[in-house]
Amino acid sequence: MNILVTLNSNYIKPLKVMLKSLFLNNDKESFTIYLMHSSLLKEELSELREFIENQGNLLEIIEIKDDYFSDAPILLHYTKEMYYRLLAFKFLPQDLDRILYLDPDILVINSVSGLYNQDISGHLYAAAYHDILSIREINKVRLNAYDIDAYYNSGVLLMNLELQRKIVDEQEIYNFVQKNGQKLIMPDQDILNALYSQKIKSLDERLYNYDTRYYRYYKLKNNGICDMDYIFENTVILHFCGKKKPWKKKYSGKFHALYKHYEKLALNNR
Amino acid sequence: MNILVTLNSNYIKPLKVMLKSLFLNNDKESFTIYLMHSSLLKEELSELREFIENQGNLLEIIEIKDDYFSDAPILLHYTKEMYYRLLAFKFLPQDLDRILYLDPDILVINSVSGLYNQDISGHLYAAAYHDILSIREINKVRLNAYDIDAYYNSGVLLMNLELQRKIVDEQEIYNFVQKNGQKLIMPDQDILNALYSQKIKSLDERLYNYDTRYYRYYKLKNNGICDMDYIFENTVILHFCGKKKPWKKKYSGKFHALYKHYEKLALNNR
């Protein structure tokens, strides 16, 4: 399976935790991790390589030179890295037909094979939207000039690379940023939704992009079904959305201890 | 290492979870699990044996016939199993010098070797008391005729079997129960404290008997030191004390997700 990650030095530790959980809960699979970056140091890269290869998987490093994006508009509050996810298909081997992008603030607690191998023909991506009133409505209103039904979260993206090569237009993305720069809060996620919302296959967030802030909400909304037993049986991806992150000192949340468990395994590489 | 457990059918699942966590976090050690019981079925025993042996460890079954305790007083609300822990030394092989008793409502999240191998010469047991005002004072008052400094929790007991064989007097225990029957709430724990409190080596509860109900209390009392990082680095035993148990449907608590994680590993025997 092909996994895509894009990151800078601040996220190496969380990335290891995410990968550890992925590898442990998918120990029959073999993974190639494609890492897109522009700023990681040699030592950081070789440490990551060792970590991944020690667990029987492969690392492919894709270094993006800044001059690639010399024509791209940049925003005050974001770097050019915001384009990596959207334009990954340009940098990945041209014979890959699909790849699963994963944010580093994630734990994978079950098999990803159902997610990875599903039919996405006709769709550019598969993604989940967080159906919590506040998140959904605010973002729809913000991007109201665009025809979006749902505001998808870009932290878990199954990518149809074949179709993206045919359809996704780099210049169109730049034009969008030029026009809407001021309005963009989460640039790549906003672009994804504004331009491609109609071509995204919708995933069940409870399975593939469970927002760890909302345990009680998921449980209530699903008549109590979506409890801890359900999660450990069914949920594949726990996503630690929001500003408070489980690797930070002051974090507190339902999945805090679970995160620390995987963090310990990852950092001891056991 | 020698581990002692005593249980009935209701606790087989939690026992497996406890053992799974013990084995996973002590994978360089080999364990002999001594199981004292009077009511487990053949199939339950052979399932347990398979579970334990599959992980490279040994099971020794000690079946206690009810007639052994024909002279022992029994209490309305408790069975004769209350004596197993206190009199285990009579049923265990006479060449064992020490054994670690563990309740089944426990997760072992770090190496037990520091606990197991410590010096206990001159002490019958090593145990921790829960230094929470309410627990401590209520139990001291309740057993006020006896000279106890602390009310030790009997869920984690490192036993000095050699010394017990010399000192612990079966008849003294029965006399105590006869006299105090009405007052006893947690019989074996009450007996342990009333009769042997002076001969118990005190363990740090944060390390060896962390009461999972009191995360905020531990953290506050220790100036914030005792946070999740501390626990995963240092704590060996998480004890799910109290009536609400993490394998029950309505449980909710700081270590819920962590428990479910080990439960899943145990029940799939992965």
Residue of B nearest to A230 (CA): B260
**Percent of the residues in chain A that have a pLDDT greater than 90, as a whole number:** 69
What are the residue boundaries of the structural domains of chain A, listed by start?
Answer: 2-204
pLDDT level of residue B142 (50, 70, 90 thresholds): low
Choosing among B235, B258, B262, B270, which should be mutated to test the A contact, i.e. which has the most A CBs within 10 A? B258
Q: Name the CATH superfamily for A2-204.
A: Spore Coat Polysaccharide Biosynthesis Protein SpsA; Chain A (3.90.550.10)
Contact flag A256-B256 (C-beta cutoff 8 Å):
no
Task: Tell me which fold the domain B2-267 belongs to.
Answer: Spore Coat Polysaccharide Biosynthesis Protein SpsA; Chain A (3.90.550)
Does the structure show a pLDDT above 80 at A55?
yes
Looking at residue B138, its pLDDT comes to 67
Nearest-by-Cβ selection for B257 from A233, A249, A257: A257
Tokens of residue A94, six digits: 């041209």
Which tens digits make up the pLDDT trace of B214-245?
999 999 988 889 999 999 999 999 999 999 99
Comparing C-alpha atoms, which of A98, A86, A270 is closest to residue A195?
A86
CA distance A7 to A81: 8
CA distance B244 to B257: 15
In angstroms, the separation between the Cα of residue B224 and the nearest Cα of chain A is 10
Which segment of A110-124, A129-143, A238-252 scores lowest on mean pLDDT?
Answer: A129-143
CA distance A21 to A19: 5
Contact flag A260-B229 (C-beta cutoff 8 Å):
yes
Contact flag B257-A260 (C-beta cutoff 8 Å):
no
Tokens of residue A209, six digits: 């992009």
Residue A204, classed as helix, strand or coil, is: coil
Contact flag B228-A257 (C-beta cutoff 8 Å):
yes
**Residue A254 gets which letter from DSSP?**
T
Inform me whether the C-beta atom of residue A166 falls under 8 Å from chain B C-beta atoms.
no
Inform me whether the C-beta atom of residue B229 falls under 8 Å from chain A C-beta atoms.
yes
Nearest-by-Cβ selection for B232 from A249, A251, A261: A261
In angstroms, the separation between the Cα of residue A212 and the nearest Cα of chain B is 11
Q: CB atoms < 10 A from the CB of A263, how many?
A: 22
Which segment of A67-76, A153-162, A243-252 scores lowest on mean pLDDT?
Answer: A67-76
Give B8-75 as a DSSP string: -GGGHHHHHHHHHHHHHTTTTS--EEEEEESS--HHHHHHHHHHHHTTT-EEEEEEPPGGGGTTS---
Which tens digits make up the pLDDT trace of A177-197?
888 877 777 778 888 988 998
ipTM: 0.87
Which residues are A61's β-sheet partners?
A: A35
